[in-house]
Structure 1
């Protein structure tokens, strides 16, 4: 049993007027019991609001954004939203999904069916709360031991910043990072950042075009031979920063709030977003290098390569060419990312993990 005096995780239940609100009233009582029984590591508080959040038609990203705005306004830690709108994942209808970075889960009440509605909503909501806390398929889904990974992340989520902490900016962010490391790792892992680039078609197209151009251009071969390792490293870091900043700034992924109550929430969101983009871009860069090296060995004939460089070539020369090609391709990806719509970047950056109906 959690200590009643300990900091609590506040879960907001938001229900659209109508049938969803009828279910939401029961869900508040059900979650109060289930969370105390299954996740006793922390104290729990359940808040309730009746709000449609958006005017239909609206997509899932709009619902998540509206729920996130309400979460910050009410100073909740997590939000579970019951909507009468349909939800989709990869173009297919789903019952529910969660965005761990936003701390928001959505449940489409009509998709649960007419039979056993209260039970299905209750089971689905519990699964979504676990997902929001960063639980993976490998972790247990039953009662969480206090020493388990989910329990440790929940304690970090419940912990309140020191009331006397007046640090600002980078200092406060560093304190949030050090004090919520497990929670952040769970949020980022659930967000599947390594899939970021594959969901940005324009950025990928520009990346491939720039990479092909670099591989077949003799001037690039000579540049790779003469730059040196220090400059090559600087170009690589610069290319990764270019596409990362383009995605975060261009799509306005950085969250701001002047309310001191939600400083921790905003800092967690920005840290998770930055980590997601950084891991996604680095994964793209690594994949480009792995692809560029064998393609360079296949397409760039040693004799032609040696004539362009003016000396005999070896594996090191091909490694340098693959390295510079990866950097230039990443720069091309940054240009392509600038052409992506804000909605496309947000959908790529934030993974909505679908949930199927509970039987």
Structure 2
């Protein structure tokens, strides 16, 4: 039985975690796609360079290094870099000479489906093998069109198209599969970058803030002032208070942790918009889940600690239903979020900053310069 080796080089964090999941399933799926009796072995390496923002030249030079230093039959790179080619968003870049593929994870949007990435790698490998089996003269654009058709189901909101270009850093032609850099493409890229930032990890970091907010809000719930206000506030007013609270907390976290990228920090306006958009979306996703968790905590506390008969004697209503408790929990969550934003500023800055592209880019760039 002939052994075949697949090397996957992934950026640390989300791409690395996804690559390790793919590693378990890839050998069996490849065995099903090839008639030959191959024994497939998959190796995963983590390389920080595949996470340098904008340093695509170094990225493609690194692919050459891995290709020459490892005896792999197929080499795939998974990066969380947003990669551009001729003002289009690159999804897949395949070196025609070395047949090394680079997959840009953010271009797959939120979340980058494991099956989608797995199918992409399998399709690239089978396509490369099919090209190798054909004579050079027999190769045409049919194979490229079939790849576009194979990848397109994962880009239903964006049109995927093919292009080719010569890259000086690799000294060879590249087959490039890309999507348009329009509003839909931008939103897809930003959402994918936010997934790579791991907003749920940021939520875990803010667990101390949740405790502070709950302690403050639970104490306020004991007084009739909050009961009366939540009872007389309309749904629209409660919604406005919530939006103001979340907006204030996002703004405070960005300012206190220096998360907003400026022209002095980032020269390319295109990446500046991507970084700041991804930071905003990451924080909003984290705080939405934070808000839901805190709301459920206050709803439970209100139902347990506040008997309806006792509340009736203070708010002048004839009866207290479930709506009262729902609105009270909503109001308490909004008010405590304002207090919690102050607590967020004293959290470990480095941990929160590491959840943003701009900070990781500058940190790794500084380490590169030191090396």
Give TM class, smaller chain: 0.5 to 0.7
After superposition, give the CA deviation of every residue in 1:32-87 in whole Å (9 maximum; x if it has no partner). xxxxxxxxxxxxxxxxxxxxxxxxxxxxxxx88xx75xx45x676968989xxxxx
Structure 1 equivalent of residue 114 of structure 2: 137
* 2:246 matches 1:240: yes
Structure 1 Cα separation of the partners of residues 265 and 355 of structure 2: 28
Are 1:216 and 2:218 matched, yes or no? no
User: Of residues 283, 286, 292 in structure 1, which corresponds to 2:292?
Assistant: 286
Greater gyration radius: 2
Do residues 332 (structure 1) and 309 (structure 2) align? no
Contact preservation (8 Å) 2:299, 2:329: yes
Distance 2:159 2:188 in 1: 9
Segments of 5+ residues of structure 1 without an aligned counterpart are 1-12, 15-62, 83-96, 104-121, 159-174, 353-359
> Aligned residue for 1:39?
none
Q: Following the alignment from structure 1 to structure 2, what is the Cα–Cα distance between the partners of residues 102 and 202? A: 33
| One of 333, 344, 353 as aligned partner of 1:346 | 353
| C-alpha spacing 1:324/1:187, structure 2 compared with 1 (3 Å) | same
Aligned 8 A contact 1:196 1:349 in 2: no
Contact (CA 8 Å) 1:242, 1:334: kept in 2 or not? yes
- In structure 2, the residue matched to 1:197 is 203
CA shift, 1:101, in A, is 7.0
Superposed CA offset, 1:155-175 (max 9, x none): 69x9xxxxxxxxxxxxxxxx8
Pairwise CA distance, 1:334: 0.8
Q: 2:40 aligns to what?
A: none
- Hey, what does 2:70 align to over in structure 1? none
1:303 pairs, out of 284, 293, 309, with: 309
Equivalent in the alignment of 2:323: 316
Q: Which residue of 1 aligns with 2:80?
A: 100
Q: CA deviation at 1:261?
A: 6.9
Aligned 8 A contact 2:209 2:344 in 1: yes
Secondary structure of the 1:339 match is: coil
Secondary structure at the counterpart of residue 347 of structure 2: coil
What value does the CA root-mean-square deviation take over the aligned residues?
4.3
Deviation at 1:100, TM superposition (A): 3.2
Q: How does 1:158-169 map to 2 (within 5 A)?
A: none
What pairs up with 1:53-92 in 2 under 5 angstroms? 68=52, 71-72=53-54
Aligned residue in 2 for 1:114: none
Structure-1 separation of matches of 2:265 and 2:56: 9
Structure 1 contact 239–331 (Cα < 8 Å) conserved: yes
* Structure 2 CA distance for partners of 1:237 and 1:185, relative to 1, 3 Å: same
Inter-CA distance 317–146: structure 2 relative to 1 (3 Å threshold): same
SS at match of 2:354: helix
Residue 212 of structure 1 and its aligned partner are, at CA, apart by: 1.8
Q: 1:265 to 1:183 in 2, by over 3 A?
A: same
Q: Does 1:230 align with 2:236?
A: yes
Q: Is the 2:80–2:104 Cα contact (8 Å) retained in structure 1? A: no
| Runs of 5+ unmatched residues, structure 2 | 1-9, 12-47, 64-76, 84-97, 125-146, 164-180, 361-371
Deviation per residue, 1:111-161 (Å, 9 max, x gap) = xxxxxxxxxxx9xx968x5545554423242235424269858969x9xxx
SS in 2 for 1:331: helix
Deviation at 1:340, TM superposition (A): 1.8
**Equivalent-residue separation in structure 1 for 2:265 and 2:232 (angstroms):** 52
Secondary structure of 2:225's counterpart equals helix
Identify if the C-alpha distance between structure 1 residues 146 and 213 changes in structure 2 by more than 3 Å, giving closer, same or farther.
Answer: farther
